[in-house]
Amino acid sequence: MDNQDSGSASTPRHRNRLLTPQEKYEIWLQLLRSETTMAEAASRAGVDPATVVKLRQVAKQGALDALAASRPGARRKGPDPELVAARAEVERLGEALKEMGVRLMLLEGKERWG
């Protein structure tokens, strides 16, 4: 009996090669510019064509997520106005809570607390 694996001689299989982020980006740009096909890119990179398909899907989803999170317009150099307003509200509520605690202590007296 020979020790050949069944199916290994019929189709060449690519090794599980890990692409660097730079290589993935270059492949994605080539596909985006229509400089190459998915099969050519996979062959050149030494990976399975399914890897290139997945790379394209991940790049598209990442771009959509980044665009959804971004806000149009120029960013201001100063602090975020919403953050400043939120911190002011926290400070105001903290002071109000302290004042209510003092009033409660004066009205009910210390003996009820302990």
What would the pLDDT profile of 20-54 be if each residue is shown by its tens digit? 999 999 999 999 999 999 999 999 999 999 999 99
Contact of 56 with 31, CB cutoff 8 Å: yes
DSSP letters, 18-66, are PPPHHHHHHHHHHHHTTSS-HHHHHHHHTS-HHHHHHHHHHHHHHHHHH
Contact 45, 17 (CB under 8 A): yes
Instruction: State both tokens at 53.
Output: 């398909």
Q: DSSP class of residue 74? A: P
Res. 6: pLDDT tops 70: no
> b or e along 53-67 (b: 16 or more beta carbons within 10 Å of the residue's beta carbon)?
eebbeebeeeeeeee
Residue 91: pLDDT over 70:
yes
Q: Are residues 62 and 91 both part of a single domain?
A: no
Amino acid at site 88? A
Same domain flag for 19 and 39: yes
The 10s digit of each residue's pLDDT in 10-20 is 445 556 788 89
Is 57 in the same domain as 88? Answer: no
Could you tell me the residue range of the domain that residue 84 belongs to? 80-114
- Let me know if residue 1 belongs to a domain: no
* Co-location of 58 and 86 in the same domain: no
What is the number of domains present in the chain? 2
| Residue 103 token pair | 């009033």
Query: pLDDT by residue (tens digit) across 48-86?
Result: 999 999 999 999 999 898 888 887 776 667 788 889 999
* Same structural domain, 55 and 89: no
